Amino acid sequence: MGLEFKLDLPSGTNLKAGEEKEQLFDLAIVGGGPAGLTAAMYALRKQLYVVLISPDLGGQVLLTRGVENYMGYQYITGPELARKFSAQVRQFTLKLAQGESVTRFSQDGKGLFQLVTSTDRFITARSVILATGKRSRPLNVPGEQEYLGRGVSLCAVCDGPFFKELPVVIVGGGNSAISAALDMLDLGSPVTVVNVADGWQADSVLMDQLRDRVTLLDAHKVTEIHGDKEKVSGVKITPRDGGAERTLDVRGVLIEIGLLPNTEALAGFVALNARQEVLTDCFSRTSRPGVFAAGDCTSVPEKQIIIAAGDGAKAALAAHRFLKHIPD
């Protein structure tokens, strides 16, 4: 994720080897997407001593071709928006462990949080914001990676409007997939929905709105996504029971087969829900006092940039209140 994007931070802000050992941070922010970067900006404006640990700066925004629903920009590319977020954080001095991820979380007897990174760096902080985001579950079929952003989308809410009036296939059988199909119908696209599982999982109220308006193909496998190198031209599918392969001529492949929160390292540290998302209350508090969470890794509904950014702001203000003992 984010290989195309490098943050040009002023010298002196990157955490040097061993430097973290002598330091106690007010706040450690884990994740450099919209939630983490916005949290950093708010915390730094509150003059907290902040370290941000993240493999990349931008998160999923780096994977987004174009954004039309972040206020202030009628259209902006994902990498450009990520660059603007980073530049805003850069106005302040923070310590950055870029290119690293946190692999272990614990709390010592004095209540301080100990974070171990992928390079075995030990970071100690008085509070933590978890902003590790999520990743869309991929199909893992030939052509998917090659055409990502050129016809293949892992976020129908985000990219659907780019396929207005063009034929699309929506892959999935749950509420997200069926909602995406309804949205695409509203945009005048001919829609085929291919369920890679056996049986539709979407609510019947949604399915009822869809029937007779789209082609519904239950229990199929997508075997390949192909195109002319520049854009998608079709997908190959076969029935799961072994029938003949066929090709659907489409310009868009919207994959909605679930989300995977990046919370594997958090199990046992904070409470997660059944979807493995960090449970938060309306003050962005997790089950562990002093640990806050924001954005797509949390149980907050709707996964969007503006929501993650707002959530990051809220978490930073909550962490500040916690550190200064200000009652909610």
Ligand X SMILES: Cc1cc2nc3c(=O)[nH]c(=O)nc-3n(C[C@H](O)[C@H](O)[C@H](O)COP(=O)(O)OP(=O)(O)OC[C@H]3O[C@@H](n4cnc5c(N)ncnc54)[C@H](O)[C@@H]3O)c2cc1C
Catalytic sites, residue numbers: 155, 158-159
- Among the listed ranges 129-137, 165-173, 233-241, 249-257, the one in contact with ligand X (CB under 6 A) is 129-137
Residue 232 engages ligand X in binding (rule: CB under 6 A)? no
- Among the listed ranges 172-180, 197-205, 272-280, 300-308, the one in contact with ligand X (CB under 6 A) is 300-308
**Could you give the residue ranges of the DSSP H alpha helices within the chain?**
34-45, 78-90, 156-159, 175-186, 204-210, 305-323
Rounded Cα gap, residues 37 and 277, in angstroms: 20
The one among 166, 248, 279, 306 contacting ligand X by CB under 6 A:
306
Rounded Cα gap, residues 279 and 297, in angstroms: 9
Residue 141 engages ligand X in binding (rule: CB under 6 A)? no
Residue that has been written with the tokens 């509904």 in this structure: 301
Which is closer to ligand X, CB of 3 or CB of 274? 3
Give CA separation, 90 vs 9, 179, 244, 264, in Å: 7, 39, 56, 29
Residues numbered 253 to 282 that lie near ligand X (CB under 6 A) are: 262, 265
Residue 35 engages ligand X in binding (rule: CB under 6 A)? yes
CB of 196 to ligand X, least distance (A): 19
Helix 78-90 vs helix 34-45: crossing angle, to nearest 10: 20
Residue that has been written with the tokens 């055409």 in this structure: 147
CB of 115 to ligand X, least distance (A): 9
Rounded Cα gap, residues 316 and 51, in angstroms: 13
CB of 169 to ligand X, least distance (A): 17
The one among 86, 127, 136, 192 contacting ligand X by CB under 6 A:
136
CB of 176 to ligand X, least distance (A): 12
CB of 7 to ligand X, least distance (A): 11
The one among 15, 28, 34, 170 contacting ligand X by CB under 6 A:
34
Residues numbered 54 to 113 that lie near ligand X (CB under 6 A) are: 54-56, 59-61, 63-64, 67, 69, 101-102
The one among 305, 313, 316, 317 contacting ligand X by CB under 6 A:
305
Main-chain dihedrals φ then ψ at residue 68, nearest 5 degrees: -120, 5
Residue that has been written with the tokens 């902006």 in this structure: 76
- Among the listed ranges 51-59, 195-203, 215-223, 234-242, the one in contact with ligand X (CB under 6 A) is 51-59
Rounded Cα gap, residues 328 and 322, in angstroms: 9
Rounded Cα gap, residues 11 and 141, in angstroms: 42
**Could you give the residue ranges of the DSSP H alpha helices within 122-191?**
156-159, 175-186
Residue 303 engages ligand X in binding (rule: CB under 6 A)? yes
The one among 7, 15, 25, 36 contacting ligand X by CB under 6 A:
36
CB of 51 to ligand X, least distance (A): 11
Structure letter (DSSP) for residue 264: G
Identify which of 312, 276, 279, 270 has the alpha carbon closest to the alpha carbon of residue 294: 312
Rounded Cα gap, residues 293 and 215, in angstroms: 40
Contacting residues toward ligand X, per CB under 6 A: 1, 30-36, 53-56, 59-61, 63-64, 67, 69, 101-102, 131-134, 136, 153-155, 158-159, 262, 265, 295-296, 303-306, 308
